[in-house]
Amino acid sequence: MNSTTDSENAELRHVVQVAVTVTFSLIFLLGVTGNGTVIWITSCRLRRTINTVWFLNLALADFVSTFLVLVTVLYLSLDLHWPFGPILCKLVNCIFGLSIYASILLLSAISIDRCVLVLFPVWCQNYRTPRLVSAMCLVIWILSVALVPGSYTLSEMSTERNRSSCKNLDVFEDWERREAGIFTVCIFLYQFLVPLSIILISYAILLCTLHRKKLNRSSKPLIVVTAVVFSFFLCWLPYHALALARVSLGGLPLLVNLVAVPLSKCLAMFNSCINPILYVFVGREFKDAVKRSLTQAFKTAFEEVP
């Protein structure tokens, strides 16, 4: 009976592994192509504005994370064997962590920026410049680097029976170290709960101000920012929920580990390739968006409201 169950679990694991490999491959192709296009258009084809600076940096963070998905695809294709050594294991996980930290900090900063724009329009007109936003983005990248040591500490390569594995890249992993539980809670706080609170407060103030001043709340940049923020938290919520459940319950059922955890990581990574689609199609009819050139579509999405 146990051998039959083990065989079924191994078969299920293999099926999920193939499905995750295919999904990650699609995410890699879509993410690199889409975010690469955003980087090219916002840096080379559009006038440098506050919005293009924000979304250029967000696209850079998403490009890095989706590009590194290729490493996970190779890892899964090798049947969870890591032949690249411990240094590359830590380096890949640290760079991936850096890109995720940068994404969430940028989303929080963009939300605060939209709020400040409505609350203090005169100050923004005089001092809110692309140069100031570029400096803020630089600070965000520096802060993201400062958060990387946690990823470095828990990224380790282990070898058993001539097979090496790289922690954090394994979509089926189940942490056994006590420090991993503490790290999971910290990740939830400063990668999800705290930014979500900041963004919700910013949007509450923003919407109340728009209602009080009877301003137009359907401007293109506001719609795009709202869609980007909503998709981020929608995509990452299952992953964080399962991570917290693993910590609080001391582990997850085998079926959840084999199926739900890998799928939640697929959904989380899908967020990094959905933003370019949102930039083009949010707030306009699909047929109109298809008829526009890519440059015009992004220009409309990012244009500043007087």
Task: State both tokens at 196.
Answer: 């979500």
Residue 219, phi-psi category: left (phi > 0), alpha (psi -120 to 50), beta (remainder)? beta
Angle between helix 261-281 and helix 50-77 axes, rounded to 10 deg: 150
Planar angle of CA 265, 114, 41, nearest 5 degrees:
65
Supply the pLDDT for residue 179.
63
Task: Give the closest residue to 100 by CA, choosing from 39, 55, 58.
Answer: 58
Q: Residue 3 pLDDT > 80, yes or no? A: no
Residue 141 has a pLDDT of: 96
| Residue 168 Ramachandran class (φ > 0 left, ψ -120 to 50 alpha, else beta) | left
Ordered alpha helix ranges (H), 120-148: 121-127, 130-146
CB 235 within 8 Å of CB 267: yes
* Mean pLDDT to the nearest integer, 199-205: 85
Q: Higher-confidence residue: 219 or 18?
A: 18
pLDDT digits (tens, 9 = 90+) for 226-279: 777 788 888 889 988 888 888 788 777 888 888 888 899 899 889 888 877 776
User: What residues does 166 pair with on adjacent strands?
Assistant: 157
Percent of the chain scoring above 70 in pLDDT: 79
CB within 8 Å of 226: residues ≥ 6 apart: 203
Q: Vertex 93, ends 89 and 94: CA angle to 5°?
A: 115
206: nearest Cα among 110, 106, 114: 114
pTM equals: 0.83
Q: What are 27-84's pLDDT values in tens digits?
A: 999 999 989 888 888 888 778 888 889 989 999 999 999 999 998 888 888 888 888 8
Reported as type and span, the H/E element at residue 165 is strand 163-166
Q: Residue 287 above 60 pLDDT? A: no
Q: How confident is the model at residue 134 (pLDDT cuts 50, 70, 90)?
A: very high
What's the confidence (pLDDT) of residue 283? 43
